Amino acid sequence: MGRRPRRNCANYAEKYHSRPAATMAHNLRTLAGYLTPPQTYELCQTAKAFQVEENGVPRATRALRVSLERSLARVLKERGVMPEAVDFKALVDADGRPGALIAGSTMVQCVLGTVWYGYEDRASPDSLGPWTDASAAEARGIYKIDVDVFTTASAAPAVRSQLCGSGLTLSCVGLEGDGGYLDNGNGMTGKSLECHVHHTEGYSLTPEEGYAYEYDSDDPEREEFSLAQATAWASGATESLRRHTGFMPTEREGKYTYLEDWNAPEYRIRGATAAFNYDWRLEDSKLVDLVVARTDVADARDLLASCDLDICKSSFDGQVFRIIDPHRAFRGETRLDPQRSKLMAAFADKLLEKDPERSTYEPQETWDAICHVLNTQEEGHPDWDQDFVPSWETDWGSPETMYHHNWVAKLFLRQEKYRERGVLIDAPPNFVTVAERTGVECIWRGA
C-alpha cells in the first residue's frame, strides 16, 4: 500500500493534531454512548484531563450526560414510552425550578444502565416469545414496573397533554378507576399517601383504533377502542376523581382524609391542549404514574422528599440530570433518607422486642408498634388526623388502620425489592427481618 500524498497528511494533521483537546472531548462523548453510566463515571475518574471545563462544563459531565440519555432511552423503549413523553424542559421556569420531572425506579435503572422487567419477571424480552415489542397490544400489562412522573398542580395540564400527545391515554384516576382499580396502598395509592401529593393518575399505551378489549374479545358485540370516544370521555375524568375518592378516601402520610377539593379549578383533570384522552378500560395495562402535587408545591423536586432511598431521588426534567450522591449511586449503592430510617428503626425495635423469633406478624400484631412510633411527634413522621388517633381501642381491621399497616410495611418491602434487584442499601439488618415477616394486606379481605 503506497504512502498517502503529503498534502492529505498535512490536511489531516491540521484538522486533528492541532486540536488534541477537542479530539479528546469528542472521543470521550462518542465512547460514552456505548458505555453504561457507571462505566462512563468510572472512566471519567481516571484522568484529570476529563475534568477540564469547556464552555464552563467539565468534559466528564458532558460525557456522562450522553451515557445517561442513552440509558434512559433504553429503559423507556422497553416500556414502549417515547422519550418525548417525558421531556419536560419547557416546564422549567426562569429560576430553574422544574414543573415536572421523571424519577423513581425508571431513573434508578437509568443510573445503573440496566432494565428491570418486574416480578412476573419474564426476565428479558426474549422470554416473551412473540411479544418482543413492548408497544404491541398483546404485551400490554407484561411490564409491571411503572414510569413515575412528578408534577406541580400548575404544570399538570401541560404534562397530561404531553403524555397523551406521545402515545398514552389516561386510564386511572385517584385511588380507584371506573373499572375497579384498587391497590391497597402499594401502587398508585401508595404515592398518594405522602403529604405533598394531591392525587395520582395512571396512563396506559394508546391502542390502535379498533383494538378489542380482552375481557370481551369473543363477544360479537365486543367493545373496541376509539380515540375520538376517549377524547370525549376526558371531560369526565374529574368526575371519576370525585366519585371514587368519595368512596375510597386517601391517606396522606398517615392522615386518613377525603379529597374535598376535588373540583377546585387548580385540580380539575384537564389538558392544556386538545391532546387529552381518557379510557378507564385500559387501567389493567397502566404503566405511567403521574403524581400531582398540592398547590403549595412550586417545584416538582419537592415531591421527591418522600422517597425512602437517595438513589430514587435521582431525576431528569428534560434539561438537567440530578444524581443524588453519585459516588454511591453509580456503584449501585444508596442510603436511606435519615428521617425515614429513624422512623423504621423505632418501629423495627418495638415490633421485634416482644417475639423476635415469630415468623409472621399480622396487622393486629404490628398495631402496637405503629402506635408507639407514630404517636411520637418528630420531624419526618406522619401526621395523624385529629379525628383518628391510633390506640388499642381503634378497630385494627378497619380501612384506616389497615392503610396505616400497609404504609409502614411498604417502607420495608420497598427496600427488599431494590435489594433483590442488586442495589446495596446501607440499613440495619433487622430491617430485612421485618420485611420478611410483614406484608401488604387487602383492606377488603373481610368484605
pLDDT per position as a tens digit, 309-323 = 999 999 999 999 999
The helix/strand/coil state of 214 is: helix
Query: What is the model's pLDDT at position 177?
Result: 34
Residue corresponding to grid cell 408498634: 369
**Three cell numbers written together for 95:** 429560576
CA separation for the pair 234, 377 (Å, rounded) = 42
pLDDT tens digits, residue range 189-211? 555 556 677 788 889 999 998 88
Compute CA distances 199 → 151, 174, 194, 412, whole Å.
11, 5, 10, 23
Domain boundaries, the chain: 6-65, 80-329, 337-437
pTM over 0.85: no
Distance CA 299, CA 67 (A): 26
| Separation CA 210–CA 214 (nearest Å) | 12
Please state, in angstroms and as integers, the Cα–Cα distance from residue 283 to each residue in 119, 252, 259, 429, following that order: 19, 23, 21, 38
Q: What is the pLDDT of residues 124-173, one digit of tens each?
A: 344 344 334 444 433 434 446 789 999 999 999 999 999 999 999 998 87
Distance CA(328)–CA(314), nearest Å, equals 12
Task: Check residue 100 and give left, alpha or beta (phi > 0: left; psi -120 to 50: alpha).
Answer: beta
What value does the mean pLDDT of the chain take? Answer: 77
CA angle 331, 333, 334 (to 5 degrees): 140
Helix axes 430-437, 399-420, angle to 10 degrees: 120
pLDDT tens-digit map of 356-410: 777 888 777 788 888 777 765 555 555 444 444 455 455 656 666 777 788 788 8
Residue whose entry in the numeric block shows the C-alpha cell 453510566? 37
Instruction: Evaluate the CA torsion angle 133, 139, 141, 144 in order and state its sign.
Output: negative
Share of the chain above pLDDT 90, in %: 36
- What is the pLDDT at residue 247? 37
Calculate mean pLDDT across residues 8-33. 68
Q: What is the distance between the alpha carbons of residues 7 and 88, in angstroms, rounded to a whole number?
A: 49
| SS3 state at 286 | coil
Got the DSSP string for 182-200?
--TTSSHHHHTTSTTEEEE
Q: Are strands 57-58 and 168-173 parallel, antiparallel or unpaired?
A: unpaired
